[in-house]
C-alpha cells in the first residue's frame, strides 16, 4: 500500500484567507521551515502567496522535492449569483496546478468563511436557527456540484469540500446535509478534525461513518477548555482562534491515534495536511510545525 504522506499549509504561518493586513513570512522562508521540520508538501495557500507562474511554481516546489496536494478555494455558495464567479475562481486555481504539473491535486472548496456576522459571532455554538433554509441548502449544494463538475470537466481534478467554523457548513449535521445533497462522484470531503470538534462533532465516529466520501484530510486539534471559554464568553471565531482553540496536535480532545488506526485500516493513501492556524503575531510557526510533525511521527506516520 502506498504510504500516507504528510504536508503542511501556509495558514500555519499566518498566511490566511481572511485578509489580515499584518505581514507574514515570505513563501521562501515558509517552504524552508516546512522542509526543515520534516514535511513532504504544502497546500497552495492564498492566490499569490506562492508563485502564480506555472513554471516558477513547479521549480520552487520540485526543488524542495515537495508536492502540492490541494488548494483552498472559498466561495460564497449560499447566493446563486456567486456560482459562476466561483467556477471562474476554481478554474483559475486548477489551471495553475495542472500547468505546473500537480495533476492529482484537489480543489478544496469552502464557504466564504468569516463573512457572515451571525456565523462568525457564534462559531462553536451554532443552533439550527443560525443555519440555511431548505431553499438555500439547495442553492449551496447546486453551486458546489457545479464548481466540482467544471473543474473535473476542464482539468480532470477532483474537488473536496472543507467544512469550517464561521461558515454555513460547520456542524456535523450541516456537513452530513451537504454530503446528502451533493453528487458523491463529483464532490468528496476534506475532513478537518479540529473544525468538526469545535463545531460539536465527533471526528472518530464521523470518519468511520463517511470514510468512502473522505478524500482529503486536515489534521487540527481542538482544546475543549478554550472551547468552553469561547462559549461562556461569547467569543467570535477569530477571538477563539487567537486564544488557542486549535491547539498543538496531541494537546486537545481529538483522538489522533484512533484516527490513524482507522486510516491505515481503510487503506487510505492520500495526504494528511497539518493546519495549525496562526493569526498574525501568534507564537512561533516553525516551533509548532516541528512539534506537530514529531507528534505525527510518534503515531507511525
**pLDDT tens for residues 259-269?**
999 999 999 99
- Check residue 280 and give its pLDDT: 56
CA distance 250 to 17: 26
Other C-beta atoms lying within 10 Å of the C-beta of residue 281: 9
What strands lie across the sheet with 106-111, from one edge to the other? Answer: 5-7, 271-274, 214-219, 187-192, 158-162, 106-111, 70-75
Q: How many helices (H) and strands (E) does the chain have?
A: 12, 7
CB 175 within 8 A of CB 200: no
DSSP 105: P
Residue labelled with grid coordinates 469550517: 164
In this prediction the pTM is 0.95
- Check residue 14 and give its pLDDT: 82
Give 122's contacts (C-beta < 8 A, 6+ positions apart). Answer: 130
Share in percent of the chain as helix, strand, coil (round to 5): 45, 15, 40
CB 1 within 8 A of CB 267: yes
Domain 5-298, architecture per CATH: Alpha-Beta Barrel (3.20)
- Check residue 106 and give its pLDDT: 98
CB 145 within 8 A of CB 138: no
> Which regions in the chain score pLDDT beneath 50?
1, 18-21
Amino acid at each position: 500500500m502506498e504510504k500516507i504522506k504528510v504536508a503542511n499549509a501556509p495558514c500555519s504561518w499566518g498566511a490566511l484567507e481572511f485578509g489580515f493586513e499584518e505581514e507574514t513570512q515570505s513563501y521562501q522562508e515558509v517552504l524552508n521551515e516546512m522542509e526543515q521540520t520534516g514535511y513532504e508538501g504544502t497546500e497552495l495557500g492564498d492566490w499569490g502567496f506562492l508563485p502564480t507562474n506555472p513554471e516558477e511554481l513547479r521549480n520552487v516546489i520540485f526543488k524542495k522535492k515537495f508536492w502540492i496536494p490541494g488548494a483552498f478555494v472559498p466561495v460564497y455558495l449560499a447566493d446563486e449569483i456567486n456560482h459562476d464567479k466561483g467556477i471562474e475562481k476554481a478554474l483559475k486555481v486548477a489551471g495553475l496546478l495542472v500547468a505546473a504539473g500537480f495533476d492529482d491535486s484537489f480543489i478544496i472548496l469552502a464557504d466564504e468563511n468569516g463573512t457572515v456576522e451571525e456565523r462568525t459571532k457564534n462559531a462553536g455554538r451554532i443552533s439550527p436557527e443560525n443555519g440555511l433554509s431548505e431553499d438555500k441548502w439547495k442553492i449551496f449544494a447546486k453551486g458546489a456540484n457545479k464548481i466540482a463538475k467544471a473543474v473535473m470537466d476542464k482539468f480532470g481534478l477532483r474537488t473536496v469540500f472543507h467544512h469550517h467554523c464561521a461558515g454555513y457548513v460547520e456542524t456535523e449535521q450541516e456537513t452530513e446535509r451537504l454530503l446528502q445533497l451533493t453528487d458523491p462522484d463529483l464532490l468528496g470531503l476534506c475532513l478537518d478534525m479540529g473544525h468538526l470538534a469545535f463545531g460539536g462533532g465527533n471526528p472518530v465516529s464521523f470518519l468511520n461513518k463517511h470514510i468512502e466520501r473522505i478524500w482529503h484530510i486536515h489534521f487540527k486539534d481542538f482544546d475543549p477548555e478554550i472551547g468552553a471559554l469561547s462559549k461562556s464568553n461569547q467569543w467570535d471565531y477569530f477571538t477563539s482562534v487567537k486564544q488557542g482553540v486549535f491547539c498543538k496536535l496531541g494537546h486537545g480532545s481529538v483522538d489522533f491515534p484512533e484516527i490513524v488506526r482507522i486510516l491505515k485500516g481503510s487503506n487510505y493513501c492520500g495526504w494528511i495536511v497539518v493546519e495549525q492556524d496562526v493569526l498574525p503575531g501568534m507564537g512561533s510557526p516553525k516551533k509548532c510545525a516541528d512539534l506537530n510533525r514529531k507528534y505525527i511521527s510518534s503515531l507511525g506516520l
